[in-house]
Amino acid sequence: MARIVNLGQQVWTNYHQTAECNLKGRIELVNGDEENGRAHLKGVAETVLELLREARQYQIPVRPIGAGWSPSPINVVEDGWLVETLRLNRTYKLSAENLHADCDVDAESLLLVQAGATVDEVYESAEEIGRSLRTGGASNGQSFAGACATGTHGSVWQAGGIQDHVRAVQLVTPDRILWIEPEKGVLSDAFIAQTGSEIIRDDRIFAAAQLHVGAMGFVTAMLIETDPIYMVQNIQKAARIKREHIDWLCRGEFKRFSCEFGLHEEPYFQQLIMNPFDPFDKKSLLRFLYKRPYDPGIPPPPPGDMGAGYDALTLLGKAMAESDLFKAEILQLAMEQAYPDNRNVDDPPAIATWGHTTEEHAPIASLFNGSVTLDRSKLSEAFDLIIDSFRRGGGGTVVTLRFVRKAKGLLAPAHWPDNVVIDFDGPNVESSHQGYKKVVEALDDAGIAFTRHWGKTNNLDEHRVMRDYEQNFADWKWAQAQVMPDAADRQVFANDELVKLGLI
C-alpha cells in the first residue's frame, strides 16, 4: 500500500498565495514498493479508501491536492484534511493485451498517469515514447489531474480542454474504488481488476468524471490518450490590430488573420493579448504556433524561449493598477517589456516540441484571475461591450483572447461548438475585481450567454451554475449520485466553495 506521511496541523496557502485555510491535518501520500503499475494503483487506491472511511466516520472534510495551482478557493478545506498527491507521479505505458476488445485506439497512444504527476512530467513521459499532448494551458506546474478537474484550456482552436485527453478515471469514494470508462470499453476487465477497481462503463458518468471539479471523489489515476509527437514554430510579436480583425476571428478566419500578422498558413494555436484602455491604437501582443514535423536534430530551446510570458505581464501590471493616471501608457510599457518583439516572421525560427511551449513559474502573490467563455460567433457583438465594461470598472491589466473547440466533460465551460475564452488576469486589486464584475453584468444585461473557469475567480453560485449548464448540470448531479449515493459520502468532499456552487 502507499505510505502516509502526516505533516500535522498547520496553515496551508495555495500556490499563488490567494487562499489559505487552517488544517486539521496535512497528509502526504507516497507510492509503496509494489512490483508493477497495476499494483501501485491498487495500493494507492486502498490507502485512499481507508483515509476516506476514517474521514467519514469522524466527519472530517477532505480535499485532494496536487500543486494547489488554482487561484480560486476550490481546494480550501477549513479544519479538514488536505491530502497531497505530488509524490504519486508515475506514468506507465500499456501493451495491446491490456486493451478491451472494443478499444478503438492503439496501446502506444495511451499513457496511465498517477494523480500527482504534473503537466510537465506528463509531457516528458509522452515525449520519451514519441508521443505528445494536443493542447494544454500556459503553465506546466499543475498536477495533470487538477488541470483536468477545472477544465484548463489553451489556445489550440482545433481542440477543447486538457481533460479531452482522458479516456478513463480511477476514482475513490468512502465506499468504493471505481474505474470509470465510456460504454465502449478501453482497458480489459482483467487489467482493471488488478488495480482493485470496480468497473463502471457509462457515457454520462464518464463525461462527469472527466471534469469533476473535485466533487465526485478522489481521483488516484487517469488513462490519457496522446498524439504522435510533433513540433511547433513560435511567432510572437507586437502589432496594431483593427476592428475588422476581430470580425475575422469571430468568423474563424484564423488563416486570414495569420497571413496578415504571421506566416501564410493556418496556425495551430493563436492568442491575442490586448490593452483594454486603447485596444486598436496601442499594439496588441500576438502569438502564433504552427505545427511542424518532429525533428530529433533540433535541440531543446533555452528556458523561457518558447514560453508564454504571462507572469511578467502580471507582475508589471501591478505598477499600472496602483495608478489612475496614464493607465494605457503604463500598461503598454509593461506589455512590451514583458513580451519583446523578438520572434517575428523574418527572425530565425524558434521551433520546439509542444511540451516546451509552457513554463513553470514562481508563485505570483496577490493574483487576480477571471475569465468568460462564450460562443465564438458572438465575439463581434460582445467585444466592444466587454472592453468598455472592463475599462469602466477600472480594469486591472490586459485582456486576452483565446480560441478553442467544444471541450469534453459535462461541466466544460467551452461547451459551444466553437468558443472564445476572454481572460482578465492581473494583480489582485479592487480595479481588477470591479472591471470583471462590470463585464459579467454587461453580458447578462445584453442577454449574451457565457460560462466561467472553475479554477479562477468566478462569482458563481448554484443558481447560476444550473442556468449556465442546464441539462448538463442535471446529468452531472445524476452521475455524482450514481458514484456516491450516500449523502454522507459526498459530504466528505465538501468545502464552502463547492457547496456554494451546488456541487456538494
3-state DSSP call for residue 218? strand
Question: What's the pTM?
Answer: 0.93
Rounded Cα distance between 437 and 70, Å, is: 20
What DSSP letter does each residue of 382-393 carry, written as one string? HHHHHHHHHHHT
Residues 6+ apart with CB under 8 A from 229: 126, 127, 130, 131, 132, 294, 353
Every domain range in the chain assigned CATH 3.30.465.10: 3-228+477-500
Phi (first) and psi of residue 268, to 5 degrees: -85, -35
pLDDT band at 323 (very low <50, low <70, confident <90, very high): low
Give yes or no for a contact between 374 and 450, defined as CB atoms under 8 angstroms apart. yes
Residue 426 in grid coordinates: 492581473
Q: Which pLDDT score, from 0 to 100, does residue 362 have?
A: 65
Q: Residue 207's pLDDT is what?
A: 98
- Give, in degrees to the nearest 5, the angle at Cα 419 between 416 and 423: 130
In the block, which residue shows the cell 486598436?
Answer: 280
Whether the Cβ atoms of residue 216 and residue 479 lie closer than 8 Å to each other: yes
Give residue 312's pLDDT: 52
Q: Would you call 95 exposed, middle or buried from its count of C-beta atoms within 10 A (0-12, 13-18, 19+)? A: exposed
Q: Using CA atoms, how far apart are residues 59 and 80, in angstroms rounded to an integer?
A: 9
Say which residue, 311 or 335, is predicted with more confidence: 335
The total number of residues shown for the chain amounts to 504
pLDDT of 87 strictly over 70:
yes
Residues 364/115, Cβ–Cβ less than 8 Å:
no
Residue 341 predicted with pLDDT over 60: no
Whether residue 417 contacts residue 469, with contact meaning beta carbons closer than 8 Å, is answered with no
Please report the pLDDT score of residue 369 as a whole number.
Answer: 82
Average the pLDDT over 462-475 and give the result. 97
Report whether pLDDT(431) > 90. no
Residue 277 has pLDDT above 90, yes or no: no
Q: With beta carbons less than 8 A apart as the criterion, state whether 457 and 370 touch.
A: yes
Q: Where in the chain is the domain with CATH 3.40.462.10?
A: 231-446
Distance CA 116, CA 199 (A): 22
Higher pLDDT, 377 or 142: 377
185-233, pLDDT tens digit by residue?
Answer: 999 999 999 999 999 999 999 999 999 999 999 999 999 999 999 999 9
pLDDT of residue 345: 74
> What's the grid cell of residue 243?
476592428
Tell me what the mean pLDDT of segment 168-187 comes to: 98
Q: Which of 444, 426, 332 is nearest to 386 (CA)?
A: 444
C-alpha radius of gyration, the chain, whole number: 22
Q: Which tops the pLDDT comparison, 367 or 89?
A: 89
Q: Which amino acid is residue 253, in one-letter code?
A: E
pLDDT class of 342 with cuts at 50, 70, 90: low
pLDDT at res. 2:
67
pLDDT of residue 63: 95
Give ∠ CA 293-294-296 in degrees, rounded to 5: 145
State yes or no: pLDDT of 289 exceeds 80: yes
Contact (CB, 8 A) for 452 and 365: no
C-alpha cell at 125: 513521459
Burial of 75 (0-12, 13-18, 19+ CB in 10 A): buried
Confidence of residue 380 (pLDDT cuts 50, 70, 90): very high
Percent with pLDDT over 70 in the chain: 90
- Partners of 112 in the beta sheet? 92, 223
Return the DSSP state at 36.
Answer: S
Average pLDDT, the chain: 90
Provide the pLDDT for residue 255.
98
pLDDT band at residue 86 under the 50/70/90 scheme: very high
Looking at residue 248, its pLDDT comes to: 98
Q: What is the pLDDT of residue 33?
A: 85
Least confident residue range of 166-170, 332-336, 382-386, 476-480: 332-336
Q: Region 224-248: what's the mean pLDDT?
A: 95
DSSP 156: B
Q: What is the CATH number of domain 231-446?
A: 3.40.462.10
Tell me which amino acid residue 138 is.
Answer: A
Q: Which residue has the cell 467519514?
A: 56
pLDDT band for position 307 (cuts 50, 70, 90): low
DSSP-derived 3-state class of residue 98: helix
CATH class of 3-228+477-500: alpha beta
The residue type found at 216 is M
Q: Which of 264, 258, 263 is nearest to 245 (CA)?
A: 258
The yes-or-no verdict on residue 441 having pLDDT over 80 is yes
Q: What are phi and psi of 329, to 5 degrees?
A: -70, -40
What was the pLDDT predicted at 133?
Answer: 96
Q: Which H/E stretch holds residue 178?
A: strand 177-181
Confidence category of residue 10, pLDDT binned at 50, 70, 90: confident
What does the pLDDT average to over 407-418? 97
Of 462, 45, 408, nearest to 204 by C-alpha is 408
Picking from 348, 354, 313, 351, the residue whose alpha carbon sits closest to that of residue 334 is: 313
In percent, how much of the chain has pLDDT > 90? Answer: 70
Give just the sign of the alpha carbon dihedral 290, 311, 133, 70. Answer: negative
Cα–Cα–Cα angle for 332, 427, 326, nearest 5°? 35
The pLDDT assigned to 67 comes to 86
Instruction: Please give the Cα distance from 63 to 217 (Å, whole number).
Output: 9
State residue 170's pLDDT score. 98
DSSP letter for 349, please: P
359 near 304, Cβ under 8 Å? yes
